[in-house]
Amino acid sequence: MDWDQIGQKITGLGRDVSDKVKETAEVARLRQRIRAEEEKLAGAYQAIGKLYYEKHDGEICEEYIPYFEHVGEACAAIEEFQGQLNELKKRKICPECGAAVEETSAFCSHCGHKMN
Ligand SMILES: [Zn+2]
């Protein structure tokens, strides 16, 4: 093997590496575009589902019933959690022990620390 051949071999390797890099970047770009389209798709499906739910509550095909039930349960749960959240917001946190204390309490119900 003479120096020219070695030089060609090295140049060839360099080209292989840069092709690989280009390919990897292209793969990443395409994956990202696919993910973006999949997100749009999920959003559209969600909107269709919501629209269907709002228009067809009480007159649904049997195969939709479990999903309608899930929606109803989730809405009830959200309302419940929202209520708990609102209750929590009315409380203050004891600086001594970190317990949630009613806003009107003068002392922490957990450790007895004087509340401001
Ligand atoms: Zn306390």
CA of 104 to the centre of ligand 1 (A): 14
pTM value surpassing 0.75: no
Residues with CB under 5 A from ligand 1 (ion): 94, 96-97, 99, 108, 110-111, 113
pLDDT for 21: 79
CA of 86 to the centre of ligand 1 (A): 21
116 residues of the chain, pLDDT tens digit each: 577 777 777 666 677 777 777 878 888 999 999 999 999 999 999 999 899 888 887 777 888 889 889 999 999 999 999 888 887 778 888 999 988 888 889 999 999 999 97
pLDDT for 13: 67
Helix (H, G, I), strand (E, B) or coil at 101: strand
**Ranges of each domain in the chain:** 3-90
C-alpha distance from residue 28 to each of 23, 35, 42 (Å): 9, 10, 21
